[in-house]
Each structure stands twice: as structure tokens, then as C-alpha cells.
């Protein structure tokens, strides 16, 4: 038996074998561990004596045949193909590059000046919408995300876009699901009413405990932002669900502390992502931060298990997103849909694969005036996980899909060379999620709780 495509996970008291080539997994009992978690070939003679002292030949052979069958089956699975052209069904519209905060890790500084204007005009925005609607003419839905800077600083343009979409889709066309990511400072009651009335879902970027938020996300004038945000968001949290998206920096690596603070405030769900490519390098996660980060994620997983046993799936999006995929047996070929099914439009009308590629001329995906550059889109469609040199043999590949292509380019100068720290954190979250799932799968109400937890 070739053990090289079997990865063993031991998390939360569970031992699990993952077959990388199929993205399947199964729990191991003591015999399974004795057979698989040994350094030598499990069917070699050196193991025979040791195993036969503990188990019958029938038991051992049955286990080995089952594994070999699963490995054989994995090799016959159909390969992913990119024969057809993908539809770009998600568009980020950078309505402004202006922001009233100066977050220390923000990438805006690096891309500042790459757009020839700060505020997107109605003419550019409407052309972008025309492009999105034309691309999705045969689809039922597509997604438009208002991005920035702080997008609500250009509310007049957002209003114009909303009116234009209503006009254009009055009689036919896809339903446009609209979302906005705000820093929370602009979420006044009037702005929230406007978003609600137009069914624009919103999430808040917020980094947790006051000393962290105030230190990392000061205002332009250097003012503290924790109270500024909570004065707006606090009253809303009692009435509705709002997602908080936190960025983890070396200033506080105890991710559980961040996440619990936000959950206690009432945010639901809560997501926390490490800062990797930052303007201020002191905010960037480094290799020696990984142990503290993984310890924090482990504590979160343990608390999720305890919470679930008490009847509640805690709303930690980092886990619930993976748990949902495990539950639905969904495999991934892409980490995100960057460039292949997603694009981002800068204020001057230039189109890029996503909001982190602003101003990168090598990956410019067209303009709102001339449409999409399909050869750049093709390049991203080809970056599926089975086709990436750094990913195609990774045990986690069908759970991961290849993570962030921007980070691969930023750190390794190649969209197909994954960034190692990004991989390490994902594998940690995946291992914990699989361990957790083995405890909770089959529990009544799990499907509903997962559904609810993902409903951002």
C-alpha cells in the first residue's frame, strides 16, 4: 500500500486518515493507527509480527483492502476541466479610494495613485454594471460588492448604481445581490436605513478589543476608532446579525480573545484572518507567530466542541465555513474565484482580478469601456488546484482549492506558488475542523445550525 497519499490527523481526541487524491476521510481506531501511523510500509514483514500480536489476520487484511480500495477509487475520479469559458459573476466596484481610517496593515498605501481618480463617476459605474449584466444575461443571480476605501464616503454614487440596477433589471436580467464592507464609522442610522431599504448586506471590519482596534485602526486625525464604530454598530447588534471581519496581527495573536470579544459584543458570525501582506511590516504575521496562532485556533475549536455539546454551534466563520463543506462533501478547485469568476473595477474603470491586484498592469483584466480581457481571465481559470505545481500533490488540496493567488504573487512572484504561511494556517484550521466534524456529524439539527451560521 502506498501511504504517501494518506495524511493522518490527530485533533480533539480523534485520529483521522485523509486521502488527498479524493478529498475523503475516515476515522481510525487503534488498529487503523497501528497500521497507518507506522513509519514502515504497513504490509511489510517488519510490521507483521507486531500487528499479529494484537490483531487477527482477517482484521488486518480487511482494513488494508478497504484502504487500497479507497486509494484505487480516488485514482479513477474524473479530472477537473476548464474547457468552457467561466462567467464573471462577482464584481467589486471600488467606488472610492478615500478612507477616514488609517489602518496600519492596509494595502491601500501600496496601490495609492494607481487609479487616475479617487472617486468613481456615475459614467464609469454604469458601464461596469452594463458589463456585469451582459456577462450574466443567462444567469439567475450575480453579486456586486461596493468596495473602497470606505465605500459609504461615496454614497451618492452607490445610490446612483442602485437606481440604475433597478432600471436595467426591471423587466429582465439577473437578480443582483449587493454587499458592502464598511469600517463601521459611516454606519449612521440614515446610512443603515438606506442599505436595508435596498437590501444591501453589510459586514464590518473590526479588530476586536479596544486597545487593538484603537492602535491598529486609528482615524486619519489619529483618533481612536473603537467607540466611533461601536456608537454606530452597538445599537444595531441587538436587532440584527452583522458579520465582523477581524484582521489578526502580531499585536494580539490570541485569536480566541479577539473572536470572543467580538462575539460577546453581539457580532454574528465572526471571522478572523491573519495579516500577511501589509503596508506596516510590524503588522504582518511571520513564521515565528504561527505556533501562537495555531494555539489560539485550537482553543477556539475546543470551545466550539464544548458549545456544540451544550446545544449551540458558536458562530466562528473560520470553522463553520469548512464544516459546511465537509458536511456537504463539497470539493474545491479554486481557493477563491479571483479572475476566473470574479473581477474588481477601479475608480478609473480599469478592471483587475480582485481588489488586491489594483494597479497591477501585468494582470489587468480589461476596462469598462472595452470589456474583459479573456486571456487574463483564462490564466486565472487555469490556476485550479490540480493544475498548480505547488498544490497538485498537497493532501489538503480539495478542501483548500489553492488559497490566495495574490499572496502567492506577492511573496513568491508567481500566482501558482502558494504562500507557505497561508498554507500552514489553512491546514491547521482544516485539521481542527475535521476533528471537530468527527465529533458532531450525525447530531440532530447540525445541518440547520450550519445553514444558520453561514447566513451572513
Q: Which residue bears the cell 483587475?
A: 352
**How are the residues of the chain apportioned to helix, strand and coil, as percentages rounded to the nearest 5?**
45, 15, 40
What gap in Å lies between CA 63 and CA 47, rounded to an integer?
Answer: 14
Q: Does residue number 274 form part of the binding site for ligand SF4 (CB under 6 A)?
A: no
- In this complex, which beta carbon is closest to ligand SF4, that of residue 347 or of residue 418? 418
What's the min distance (Å) between Cβ of 300 and ligand SF4?
19
Q: Which listed residue (35, 36, 368, 404) binds ligand SF4 by CB under 6 A?
A: 404
- In this complex, which beta carbon is closest to ligand SF4, that of residue 275 or of residue 404? 404
The neighbouring-strand residues paired with 94 are 147
4 exposure class (CB count in 10 Å sphere: 0-12, 13-18, 19+)? exposed
Part of the chain binding ligand SF4 (CB under 6 A), chosen from 16-24, 306-314, 360-368, 420-428? 420-428
Q: Which listed residue (120, 405, 425, 450) binds ligand SF4 by CB under 6 A?
A: 405
The answer to whether residues 232 and 279 touch, using CB atoms and an 8 Å cutoff, is no
What's the min distance (Å) between Cβ of 402 and ligand SF4?
5
What gap in Å lies between CA 183 and CA 100, rounded to an integer?
Answer: 9
The C-alpha R_g of the chain, in whole angstroms, comes to 24
The CA-atom distances, in angstroms, between 441 and each of 142, 355, 437 are 32, 36, 5
State whether residue 270 is helix, strand or coil: strand
What's the min distance (Å) between Cβ of 405 and ligand SF4?
4
- In this complex, which beta carbon is closest to ligand SF4, that of residue 187 or of residue 383? 383
What's the min distance (Å) between Cβ of 145 and ligand SF4?
10
Binding to ligand SF4 in span 317-356, by CB under 6 A: 336, 338, 354, 356
Listing DSSP states for 37-51 in one string gives SSSS-TTSHHHHHHH
C-alpha grid cell for residue 33?
493507527
Q: Does residue number 279 form part of the binding site for ligand SF4 (CB under 6 A)?
A: no
Q: Does residue number 391 form part of the binding site for ligand SF4 (CB under 6 A)?
A: yes
Q: Does residue number 3 form part of the binding site for ligand SF4 (CB under 6 A)?
A: no
78 exposure class (CB count in 10 Å sphere: 0-12, 13-18, 19+)? exposed
Part of the chain binding ligand SF4 (CB under 6 A), chosen from 101-109, 151-159, 312-320, 383-391? 383-391
What gap in Å lies between CA 99 and CA 127, rounded to an integer?
Answer: 24
What's the min distance (Å) between Cβ of 284 and ligand SF4?
15
What gap in Å lies between CA 31 and CA 67, rounded to an integer?
Answer: 13
- In this complex, which beta carbon is closest to ligand SF4, that of residue 128 or of residue 428? 428
What's the min distance (Å) between Cβ of 430 and ligand SF4?
8
Q: Does residue number 396 form part of the binding site for ligand SF4 (CB under 6 A)?
A: yes
- In this complex, which beta carbon is closest to ligand SF4, that of residue 158 or of residue 336? 336
Q: Which listed residue (406, 421, 436, 438) binds ligand SF4 by CB under 6 A?
A: 406
- In this complex, which beta carbon is closest to ligand SF4, that of residue 42 or of residue 353? 353
- Strand pairing report for 14-19 and 342-345: unpaired
What's the min distance (Å) between Cβ of 7 and ligand SF4?
11
The CA-atom distances, in angstroms, between 334 and each of 160, 175, 260, 368, 388 are 33, 24, 30, 25, 10
- In this complex, which beta carbon is closest to ligand SF4, that of residue 208 or of residue 390? 390
Q: Which residue bears the cell 459573476?
A: 89
C-alpha grid cell for residue 219?
482615524
**Which positions from 162 to 181 touch ligand SF4 by CB under 6 A, shown as an x/- string?**
--------------------
**CA angle, 151 then 455 then 323, to 5°:** 120
- In this complex, which beta carbon is closest to ligand SF4, that of residue 157 or of residue 404? 404
Q: Does residue number 385 form part of the binding site for ligand SF4 (CB under 6 A)?
A: yes
What's the min distance (Å) between Cβ of 395 and ligand SF4?
8
* Residues binding ligand SF4: number (CB under 6 A): 20
Part of the chain binding ligand SF4 (CB under 6 A), chosen from 56-64, 134-142, 296-304, 395-403? 395-403
Number of continuous H segments (helices) and E segments (strands) in the chain: 17, 13
The CA-atom distances, in angstroms, between 177 and each of 89, 321, 342 are 10, 20, 14
Contact residues for ligand SF4 (CB under 6 A)?
336, 338, 354, 356, 385, 390-391, 394, 396-397, 400, 402-406, 418, 423, 426-427
Amino acid at each position: 500500500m502506498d501511504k504517501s497519499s494518506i495524511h493522518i490527523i490527530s485533533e480533539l481526541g480523534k485520529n483521522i486518515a485523509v486521502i488527498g487524491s479524493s478529498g475523503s476521510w475516515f476515522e481510525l481506531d487503534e488498529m487503523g493507527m497501528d497500521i497507518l501511523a507506522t513509519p514502515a510500509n504497513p504490509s511489510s514483514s517488519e510490521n507483521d509480527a507486531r500487528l499479529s500480536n494484537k490483531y487477527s489476520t482477517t482484521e488486518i487484511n480487511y482494513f488494508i483492502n478497504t484502504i487500497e480500495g479507497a486509494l484505487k477509487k480516488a485514482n479513477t475520479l474524473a479530472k477537473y476541466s476548464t474547457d468552457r469559458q467561466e462567467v464573471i459573476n462577482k464584481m467589486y466596484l471600488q467606488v472610492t479610494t478615500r478612507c477616514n481610517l488609517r489602518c496600519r496593515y492596509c494595502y491601500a498605501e501600496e496601490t495609492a495613485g494607481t487609479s487616475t481618480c479617487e472617486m468613481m463617476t456615475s459614467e464609469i459605474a454604469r458601464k461596469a454594471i452594463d458589463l456585469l449584466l451582459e456577462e450574466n444575461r443567462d444567469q439567475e443571480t450575480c453579486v456586486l460588492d461596493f468596495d473602497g476605501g470606505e465605500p459609504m464616503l461615496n454614497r451618492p454614487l452607490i445610490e446612483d448604481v442602485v437606481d440604475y440596477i433597478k432600471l436595467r433589471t426591471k423587466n429582465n436580467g439577473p437578480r443582483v445581490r449587493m454587499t458592502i464592507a464598511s469600517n463601521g464609522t459611516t454606519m449612521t442610522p440614515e446610512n443603515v436605513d438606506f442599505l436595508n431599504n435596498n437590501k444591501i448586506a453589510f459586514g464590518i471590519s473590526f479588530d476586536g478589543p479596544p486597545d487593538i482596534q484603537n492602535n491598529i485602526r486609528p482615524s486619519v486625525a489619529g483618533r481612536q476608532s473603537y467607540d466611533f464604530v461601536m456608537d454606530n454598530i452597538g445599537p444595531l447588534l441587538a436587532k440584527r446579525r452583522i458579520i465582523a471581519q477581524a484582521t489578526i496581527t502580531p499585536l494580539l495573536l490570541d485569536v480566541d480573545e479577539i473572536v470572543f470579544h467580538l462575539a460577546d459584543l453581539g457580532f454574528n458570525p465572526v471571522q478572523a484572518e491573519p495579516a500577511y501582506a501589509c503596508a506596516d511590516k510590524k503588522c504582518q504575521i511571520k513564521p515565528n507567530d504561527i505556533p501562537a496562532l495555531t494555539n489560539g485556533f485550537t482553543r477556539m475549536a475546543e470551545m466550539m466542541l464544548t458549545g456544540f455539546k451544550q446545544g449551540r454551534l458558536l458562530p466562528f466563520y473560520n470553522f463553520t465555513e469548512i464544516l459546511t463543506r465537509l458536511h456537504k462533501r463539497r470539493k474545491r478547485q479554486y481557493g477563491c474565484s479571483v479572475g476566473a469568476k470574479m473581477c474588481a473595477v477601479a475608480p478609473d474603470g480599469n478592471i483587475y482580478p480582485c481588489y488586491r491586484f489594483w494597479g497591477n498592469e501585468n494582470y489587468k483584466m480589461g476596462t469598462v469601456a472595452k470589456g474583459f480581457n479573456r486571456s487574463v481571465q483564462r490564466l486565472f481559470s487555469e490556476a485550479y488546484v490540480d493544475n498548480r505545481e505547488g498544490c497538485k500533490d498537497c493532501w489538503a488540496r480539495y478542501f483548500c482549492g489553492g488559497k490566495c493567488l495574490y499572496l502567492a504573487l506577492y511573496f513568491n512572484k508567481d500566482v501558482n506558488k502558494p504562500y507557505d504561511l497561508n498554507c500552514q494556517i489553512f491546514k491547521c484550521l482544516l485539521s481542527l475542523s475535521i476533528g471537530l466534524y468527527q465529533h458532531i456529524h450525525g447530531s440532530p439539527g447540525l445541518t440547520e445550525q450550519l445553514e444558520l451560521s453561514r447566513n451572513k
